[in-house]
């Protein structure tokens, strides 16, 4: 006979509390979770490691331009399919998918704005739309924005976020935009007007080889990938290991390709100081 009787207990079932979606984001730099409101308040920069998350074109304009001063140019310009490009997904299907996903018509937003009450023309590319690549519409919008800045004697500021370079779906039509935007910037320079180029992660290929690399002052965000061809392709081509941090902002500043690295929270004040200097 057992010393003690059969124990009596009650099973209590507790419903597991689930974490609501959309409250936390895992940092790509340090792998730490960040409360989304804190991340937004910090301009989408990790408070632990300073990793700069990607911003949309609209977020960048809201951050840089004085409230209610941005006047968009050429908002209705949209790409056509000059080559009738066919692949796993047609160009028209790709455009429609990215338009639905981003709410943009194409990868660039341009317009006039005031920055700390100083007039400027602002162009921003959005890497969510076919990797911010430059087709006919992006090239045309940026060229028209530069021409407007020249006509009105305003500084030109372009914030580039392009991992796609020239848009292959448009072939030679996209490559023409490299020359067109560069020619417009040459006229802007001849008029004695400043152009400030801001490079974000990533800025690559045809965009970097044209307007993004032509600034009177070239600013980059920390640890942005900047170059023509990516490091993996270069290593496979030359069969050599590249230096640590190759094509990152810090490496390029050390080697003279860019002029300064600016933390996102200091970007607006830096642009204002540069416009003051050039004026």
Residue 52 is encoded by which pair of tokens? 């700069």
DSSP annotation of 241 reads: P
Residue 115 is encoded by which pair of tokens? 């920055």
| Mean of pLDDT values over 125-152 | 94
The model's confidence at residue 230, banded by pLDDT at 50, 70 and 90, is: confident
| Mean of pLDDT values over 234-255 | 85
pLDDT at 249 over 60: yes
Please report the pLDDT score of residue 105 as a whole number: 92
- The contacts of residue 144 (CB under 8 Å, 6+ apart) are 73, 74, 110
Same domain for 61 and 153, yes or no, is yes
- Whether 11 maps to a domain, the answer reads no
The model's confidence at residue 137, banded by pLDDT at 50, 70 and 90, is: very high
Which stretch of DSSP H or E encloses residue 123? strand 118-125
Domain end residue (candidates: 53, 69, 99): 53
- Whether 94 maps to a domain, the answer reads yes
Please report the pLDDT score of residue 84 as a whole number: 86
pLDDT tens-place string over residues 192-213: 999 999 999 989 888 888 999 9
Same domain for 82 and 29, yes or no, is no
**Separation between Cα atoms, residue 156 and residue 147, nearest integer Å:** 10
The percent of residues in the chain predicted with pLDDT above 90, rounded, is: 54
- Whether 8 maps to a domain, the answer reads no
DSSP annotation of 116 reads: T
Please report the pLDDT score of residue 38 as a whole number: 84
Same domain for 259 and 158, yes or no, is yes
pLDDT at 8 over 70: no
Within 10 angstroms of residue 3's Cβ, the number of other Cβ atoms is: 4
- Whether 12 maps to a domain, the answer reads no
Please report the pLDDT score of residue 252 as a whole number: 92
- Is residue 226 within 8 Å of residue 219, measured between CB atoms? no
- Whether 6 maps to a domain, the answer reads no
| Mean of pLDDT values over 79-88 | 86
Same domain for 88 and 156, yes or no, is yes
Please report the pLDDT score of residue 241 as a whole number: 84
Residue that wins the pLDDT comparison between 199 and 19: 199
The model's confidence at residue 18, banded by pLDDT at 50, 70 and 90, is: low
Same domain for 171 and 100, yes or no, is yes
Residue 110, CA distances (Å) to 59, 167, 272 in order: 13, 19, 19
Here the CATH number for the domain that contains residue 266 is: 3.90.226.10
Please report the pLDDT score of residue 149 as a whole number: 97
- Whether 174 maps to a domain, the answer reads yes
**Separation between Cα atoms, residue 200 and residue 161, nearest integer Å:** 5
Same domain for 202 and 124, yes or no, is yes
Same domain for 262 and 188, yes or no, is yes
Domain total in the chain: 2
| Mean of pLDDT values over 210-229 | 91
Same domain for 255 and 155, yes or no, is yes
- Whether 7 maps to a domain, the answer reads no
Same domain for 45 and 129, yes or no, is no
Please report the pLDDT score of residue 19 as a whole number: 47
The model's confidence at residue 5, banded by pLDDT at 50, 70 and 90, is: low
The model's confidence at residue 9, banded by pLDDT at 50, 70 and 90, is: low
**Separation between Cα atoms, residue 42 and residue 211, nearest integer Å:** 29
pLDDT tens-place string over residues 121-133: 999 999 999 888 8
- Whether 74 maps to a domain, the answer reads yes
Full-model pTM: 0.84
Same domain for 193 and 257, yes or no, is yes
Q: 218 lies in which domain range?
A: 54-278
- The contacts of residue 101 (CB under 8 Å, 6+ apart) are 128
Residue that wins the pLDDT comparison between 85 and 10: 85
pLDDT tens-place string over residues 168-195: 899 899 999 999 999 999 999 999 999 9
């Amino acid at each position: 006979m057992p010393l003690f009787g059969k124990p009596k207990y009650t099973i209590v079932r507790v419903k597991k509390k689930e974490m609501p979606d959309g409250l936390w984001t895992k940092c790509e730099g340090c792998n730490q979770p960040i409360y989304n409101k804190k991340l937004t308040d910090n301009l989408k920069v990790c408070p632990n490691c300073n990793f700069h998350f990607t911003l949309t074109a609209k977020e960048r304009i809201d951050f840089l331009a004085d409230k209610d001063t941005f006047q968009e140019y050429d908002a209705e310009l949209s790409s056509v399919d000059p080559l009738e490009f066919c692949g796993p997904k047609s160009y028209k299907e790709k455009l429609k998918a990215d338009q639905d996903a981003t709410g943009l018509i194409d990868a660039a937003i341009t317009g006039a704005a005031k920055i700390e009450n100083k007039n400027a023309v602002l162009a921003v590319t959005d890497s969510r739309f076919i990797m911010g690549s430059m087709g006919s519409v992006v090239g045309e919008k940026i060229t028209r924005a530069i021409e407007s800045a020249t006509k009105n004697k305003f500084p030109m500021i372009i914030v580039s976020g392009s991992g796609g370079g020239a848009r292959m779906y448009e072939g030679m039509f996209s490559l023409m935009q490299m020359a067109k935007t560069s020619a417009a910037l040459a006229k802007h320079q001849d008029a004695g007007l400043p152009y400030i180029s801001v490079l974000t992660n990533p800025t690559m290929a045809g965009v970097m080889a044209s307007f993004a690399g032509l600034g009177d002052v070239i600013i980059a965000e920390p640890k942005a990938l900047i170059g023509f061809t990516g490091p993996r392709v270069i290593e496979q081509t030359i069969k050599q290991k590249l230096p640590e941090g190759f094509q990152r902002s810090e490496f390029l500043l050390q080697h003279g390709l860019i002029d300064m690295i600016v933390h996102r929270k200091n970007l607006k004040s830096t642009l204002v100081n540069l416009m003051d200097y050039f004026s």
